Structure 1
Amino acid sequence: MVKAWYMDNETTDQRLEHHRNPPEFITLEELYNKTGVEYFSLNVHTYTTDGVLDKIKKERGYSYEDEMVCSKECLANYEEKIKSFFTEHLHTDEEIRFILDGSGYFDVRDGSDQWIRIAVSAGDMIVIPSGIYHRFTLDTNNYIKAKRFFIGEPVWLPHNRPADDMECRQRYLEKLHKGFVAAH
């Protein structure tokens, strides 16, 4: 089960669990209301046959998927890639990740520009909205295997902060101001 909490603005070692002491945990509903990040819990042992993932893919229009493994053994230029994933950025499309194995952290900015850390592990699926500033890193296990989903052709391009003038960022800020409406 995913956990989310506010964290300090730590930038030195992305694999440490820097957070306020005591941590200020938030619920999934609060996470959604504050950021637009959606969460789904899937069974990693039955997702290929139980129809839950297929229903989500159909409802949301996900037409492309692949799998990726992020570890020292499987990722070329590991240290460089981890640093690039941890650089604060946004995308013009949603970022959808279904964790099959391992664990890691997605950090997202709330409306007050504070970091919220989302700890994900096997069975967690999150949808990070287009236009939100975020970053990713592994935890101390240094391993994650995930499915990635896209609507149409995949767009891999991150836009590093600042990117406030981008149309996707303006749309995101408008949704943040008006309130998010879940797609499910």
Structure 2
Amino acid sequence: MEAWYMDDSDADQRLPHKLDPDRPVSLEQLEKIGVFYWKLNADTYESDPELEKIRKENGYSYMDIITIHKDKLPNYEEKLKMFFEEHLHLDDEIRYILEGRAYFDVRDKDDRWIRICMAKGDMITLPAGIYHRFTLDETNYTKAMRLFVGEPVWKAYNRPADDFEIRQKYVNSLRCA
């Protein structure tokens, strides 16, 4: 996993969009905005005791796997556009990359974009209420595990969604950090 502050370019969303000079973002900086990271062995995800421990400790009782590629995902281009719309969820978003690569973009406390580059074995949690978006990189392929506490909730609320109680709770948590 690698993270950095993004440039303001309108070029293809699948490009890295690093600033020049590069401004890396550390795991500690991500944790301050509620984003947590694990490195796991994706080759053994079906029987990985470390993944099972994380799922048990965090109550991630539901799991499915999504393959994002033009030949595997119906309405591929439409879905990519939807995933890249800035939005928030009322629940945490947990993703574990099993194959390929992808980007999660999140807003820092000053509303600047941070790009998180994820590859095979990377798992992150995005807190409920954080504005974010998702896209593939230039390889146009990823296979990811989606985890949820309880039943999956697929509803995304596009920005602006500042009136939601979960957004207010998230913003308040940043003031304490």
Shorter-chain TM-score tier: over 0.9
- 1:77 shift after superposition: 1.2
Look up the match of 1:83: 81
Indicate if the aligned counterparts of 2:43 and 2:98 stay in contact, CA closer than 8 A. Answer: no
- 1:23 shift after superposition: 1.1
* Distance of aligned partners of 1:162 and 1:42 in 2 relative to their CA distance in 1, 3 Å threshold: same
Look up the match of 2:21: 22
Q: What's the Cα RMSD here?
A: 1.1
Taking the TM superposition and a 5 Å limit, the aligned residue runs for 1:93-172 are 93-172=91-170
Q: Distance in 2 between matches of 1:154 and 1:45?
A: 24
Identical aligned residues as a percent: 56
Q: Distance in 1 between matches of 2:82 and 2:9?
A: 16
* Distance of aligned partners of 1:144 and 1:158 in 2 relative to their CA distance in 1, 3 Å threshold: same
Indicate if the aligned counterparts of 1:39 and 1:124 stay in contact, CA closer than 8 A. Answer: yes
Q: Distance in 2 between matches of 1:153 and 1:73?
A: 28
**Aligned letter for 1:18?**
H
Q: Distance in 1 between matches of 2:130 and 2:8?
A: 17
Indicate if the aligned counterparts of 1:64 and 1:149 stay in contact, CA closer than 8 A. Answer: yes
Residue ranges of structure 1 left out of the alignment (5+ in a row): 180-184
Look up the match of 1:182: none
Q: Matched residue of 1:56: which SS?
A: helix
Q: Matched residue of 2:72: which SS?
A: coil
Look up the match of 1:48: 46
TM-score of the superposed pair, with normalisation by structure 2: 0.96
- 1:164 shift after superposition: 0.4
Q: Distance in 2 between matches of 1:94 and 1:115?
A: 19
Residue ranges of structure 2 left out of the alignment (5+ in a row): none
Q: Matched residue of 1:113: which SS?
A: coil
Q: Matched residue of 2:30: which SS?
A: helix
Q: Distance in 1 between matches of 2:93 and 2:4?
A: 20
Listed one character per residue, the Cα deviations across residues 63-109 of structure 1 (whole Å, up to 9, x for unaligned) are: 10000000011111111111110000000000000100000100000
Q: Matched residue of 1:49: which SS?
A: coil
Indicate if the aligned counterparts of 1:9 and 1:115 stay in contact, CA closer than 8 A. Answer: no
**Aligned letter for 1:5?**
W
